[in-house]
Amino acid sequence: MERRKLKRRHLIYYLRVYDRTTGQLLGRLGDLTTDGVMLISEEPIEIRKTFHLRIDLPEQIEGRREITFEAISRWASKDINPNFHDTGFQFSVISRDDLDAVIELIEELLLPD
């Protein structure tokens, strides 16, 4: 099992994350680092699969209202709330502009340490 390299960051509120291929809501953002995301969803998400994802932003960040990227689902488990599932994703393709928006999101919208 891989050890976490970057500190986990918890969001002030849970942003919606959509599957860009289907347009469906996949889940809500639970954790965020510059390496990937953790989603909280009502349905289990298949692991070891590449997803094309979009995070809708609550306000414009780095000149954009959304962050798009490809990510591979690496792990899944039941959430502390038994009605939900947690899935960890590692970024596989993300543009520099979208990564800059992730960094800004971490700085602006997450709980302080």
In contact, 42 and 26? CB cutoff 8 Å: no
pLDDT in tens, 27-39: 999 888 999 999 9
pLDDT in tens, 85-113: 999 999 999 999 999 999 988 887 655 55
Tell me what pLDDT residue 11 has: 54
Q: Kindly report the number of other CB atoms within 10 A of residue 102's CB atom.
A: 23
Residue 44 backbone class (left: φ over 0; alpha: ψ -120 to 50; beta: rest)? beta
| pTM exceeds 0.95 for this model | no
Q: Which CATH number fits domain 16-109: 3.30.420.10, 2.40.10.220, 3.30.230.30, 2.40.50.100?
A: 2.40.10.220
